[in-house]
Amino acid sequence: MNPQAKLISISSLLLGTTITISSNHWMMAWTGLEINTLAILPLISKPHHPRAIEAATKYFLVQAAASTLLLFSSTTNALFTGRWDITQLTHPTSCLLLTTAISIKLGLVPFH
C-alpha cells in the first residue's frame, strides 16, 4: 500500500474515533462510525486476494446493516422522547436496538 494512502487511512481512523467519542448528537456519532468503517476497508482489502476482497465486502455489508439499526434506534428514541441527545436514551426499545447495533459494530459474541 502506498505510504500516503496508509497515512490517510490511519488518520481517518483516528478522526472517526475522535468524532464518535466526543459527540453529543446521534448523527455525529453515526458519522464517526461511518468514517471508521470506510477507513478500515482499504486496510482489509490491501492484499489483493479474492478472500480479502470477500472479507471487505462482508465487513461492509454487516457494518451497513448495523449503521441502519443505529439510525433506526436514534430515530425511535427521538420519536418517543422528542430529543436527539445521546444522554436522553430512556425508551426500552431504543436501548435494545442501540445495544444490538453497537454489539454488531463491535463484533461481540452473538454477532461475530
Model confidence pLDDT, tens digit, residues 67-91? 999 999 988 988 888 888 777 788 8
Q: What is the pLDDT of residue 112?
A: 65
DSSP states of the chain: --HHHHHHHHHHHHHHHHHHHH--BHHHHHHHHHHHHHHHHHHHT-S--HHHHHHHHHHHHHHHHHHHHHHHHHHHHHHHHS--BGGG---HHHHHHHHHHHHHHHT-GGG-
Average pLDDT in the chain: 88
